[in-house]
C-alpha cells in the first residue's frame, strides 16, 4: 500500500529495456545548432530533425539525450549537435558506447562527392573521403560503422569551407525535402525492419517494449 502511495506521487520513470538487443543506433553529425542550422555541413541534422519531428513523430519518445521508438524497439536516435564537426568522434563514442555491444552504428552526414539530390549507403570500412567529422569518429571507432552519405555537391568556385558552411537556397531545400529525405527514410526503415526480424528470430520471441509503454 505504501509503495502504491509513493508511486502515485512520485511515478516511476519509464526506462528503456536494454536487456534485449537494440540493433540500430542512428546518429547525425554536424556543427552546433542553432548557429549552423540549415547549412550544408549540417544536412545530417536536417534528416534527423525530419525523422524526429515528421516521419517518425507518432512513435518516438525522448529520454535524456536519446529518442526511442514504440514501433521499433531495436532503434535509438541521437543528434550530436553539441560540438563542432571535426570534434564529433569523442562525443559520438561517449553516447554510442553504452549501446555498442548491442547495436550497429549508422552515421548521417553530408558528402561533397555526391551531387545534391543523391545519397549513398556506405558499409563499414569505406573511406571517410576527407570528411573531418568521419575522420574524428574513425580515430575512436576504427571505421566500424555504416554511413548514410547525403550529397551536397562540390563547389565550382567558392572555397570548400565557405561552401559547406553556407545555407541551402529554397530550390535546394525543396530537392532535399521532396526527393532525398523520403528515400533516406525508406532506406532506414528497411534496415530497421530487417534488423528487427533478425532479432526476433534469434530470440524466438517479440522484442519487449520499454517499461510503461503499451503496444500500438
Hey, what's the cell of 126?
A: 569505406
Q: Is 41 a catalytic residue?
A: yes
What is the distance between the alpha carbons of residues 115 and 100, in angstroms, rounded to a whole number? 32
Determine which one of 41, 45, 95, 131 is catalytic: 41
Asked if 89 contacts 136 with a C-beta cutoff of 8 angstroms, the reply is yes
* C-alpha angle 192-51-133 in degrees, rounded to nearest 5: 85
> Could you tell me which of 120, 113, 184, 176 has the C-alpha nearest to residue 147?
120
Longest dimension (CA), the chain: 73
Indicate if the alpha-carbon torsion angle 68, 70, 75, 79 is positive or negative: negative
Q: Which residues contact 69 (CB under 8 A, 6 or more apart)?
A: 56, 59, 60, 61, 75, 77
> Could you tell me which of 120, 121, 114, 148 has the C-alpha nearest to residue 133?
148
Hey, what's the cell of 202?
A: 534469434
Three-state secondary structure call for residue 80: strand
Q: Which residues are catalytic?
A: 41
Amino acid at each position: 500500500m505504501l509503495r502504491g502511495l509513493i508511486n502515485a506521487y512520485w511515478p516511476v520513470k519509464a526506462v528503456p529495456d536494454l536487456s534485449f538487443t537494440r540493433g540500430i543506433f542512428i546518429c547525425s553529425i554536424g556543427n552546433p545548432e542553432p548557429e549552423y542550422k540549415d547549412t550544408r555541413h549540417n544536412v545530417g541534422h536536417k534528416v534527423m530533425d525530419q525523422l524526429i519531428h515528421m516521419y517518425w513523430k507518432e512513435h518516438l519518445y525522448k529520454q535524456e539525450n536519446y529518442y526511442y521508438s514504440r514501433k521499433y524497439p531495436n532503434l535509438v536516435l541521437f543528434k550530436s549537435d553539441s560540438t563542432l564537426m571535426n570534434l564529433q568522434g569523442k562525443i559520438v563514442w561517449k553516447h554510442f558506447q553504452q549501446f555498442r555491444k548491442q547495436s550497429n552504428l549508422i552515421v548521417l552526414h553530408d558528402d561533397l562527392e555526391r551531387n545534391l539530390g543523391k545519397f549513398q549507403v556506405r558499409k563499414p570500412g569505406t573511406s571517410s573521403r576527407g570528411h573531418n567529422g568521419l575522420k574524428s569518429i574513425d580515430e575512436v571507432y576504427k571505421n566500424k560503422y555504416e554511413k548514410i552519405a547525403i550529397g551536397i555537391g562540390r563547389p565550382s568556385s567558392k572555397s570548400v569551407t565557405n561552401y559547406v558552411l553556407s545555407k541551402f537556397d529554397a530550390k535546394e531545400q525543396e530537392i532535399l525535402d521532396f526527393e532525398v529525405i523520403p528515400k533516406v527514410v525508406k532506406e532506414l526503415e528497411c534496415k530497421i525492419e530487417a534488423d528487427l526480424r533478425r532479432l526476433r528470430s534469434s530470440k524466438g520471441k517479440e522484442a519487449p517494449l520499454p517499461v510503461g509503454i503499451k503496444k500500438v
